[in-house]
Amino acid sequence: MANKAILCVDDEPMVLTALRDQIGHRFGDAYRYELAEGVDEAWETIEELDREGVEIAVIISDWLMPGIKGDEFLLEVYLRFPQIVNIMLTGHADKVAIERARRYANLHAYIPKPWERDTIIAAIESGLEKARQHPANEAAGISQRQNDE
């Protein structure tokens, strides 16, 4: 099983299924695809993957969800896991929330709903490259390559 994951967070199951299908079609077995119907489930998944030693490379989060807005969630993620690349996917976010996420949560991309498959895939691909270049991930990659040799 892959030791890297892409986490999708949305309160609409149809959106999560569409994301999983599109992402899985492009990236195959290279990543685990985790789905969370809301922030509470997302935190459970993040903590479980962390305990298992699975690196979350990218989180794709809706903005408008019950309880907490996506920009606030992504800020919390960034404070705890700065190496995770954040993407916000929504039809409702305002410019202030997007700017706040860019400035304080290291938002990599904002993609409006409905999204184009090529747009989300391009954002994920560039996000994965950014994740690979994060100092914490580069160091882990060097130790992993040394262990493989």
Q: Record the tokens describing residue 25, joined without a space.
A: 């079609």
Instruction: Provide the pLDDT for residue 126.
Output: 97
Judge whether 117 and 111 are in contact, CB under 8 Å: no
Please report which confidence band the pLDDT of residue 7 belongs to, taking 50, 70 and 90 as the band edges. Answer: very high
Confidence band of 67 (pLDDT split at 50, 70, 90): confident
Nearest residue to 20 via CA among 45, 84, 28, 40: 28
Mean pLDDT score of the chain, rounded to an integer?
89
Question: Does 112 sit behind a cis peptide bond, omega within 30 degrees of 0 on the bond before it?
Answer: no
Look at residue 119 and tell me whether its pLDDT is greater than 80.
yes
User: To the nearest whole percent, how much of the chain has pLDDT over 90?
Assistant: 77
Q: What is the pLDDT averaged over residues 67-73?
A: 92
Per-domain boundaries in the chain: 4-148
What topology is assigned to 4-148 in CATH?
Rossmann fold (3.40.50)
CB 83 within 8 A of CB 54: no
Question: Strand ranges (DSSP E) for the chain?
Answer: 4-9, 32-36, 55-61, 85-90, 107-112
Question: Residue 148 pLDDT more than 80?
Answer: no
Amino acid at 25: H
Torsion on CA atoms 42, 46, 52, 56, rounded to nearest 10:
110
Tell me which residue of 50, 135, 51 sits closest to 59, measured CA to CA. 50
For residue 100, what are the CA distances in angstroms to 23, 40, 49, 124?
A: 27, 21, 27, 21
Can you give the pLDDT at residue 136? 65
The span from the CA of 130 to the CA of 140, in Å, is 14
pLDDT tens, position by position, 10-52: 999 999 999 999 999 999 999 999 999 999 999 999 999 999 9
**pLDDT in the model for residue 93:** 72
- Tell me how many helices (H) and strands (E) the chain has: 6, 5
**Model confidence pLDDT, tens digit, residues 129-138:** 999 887 765 5
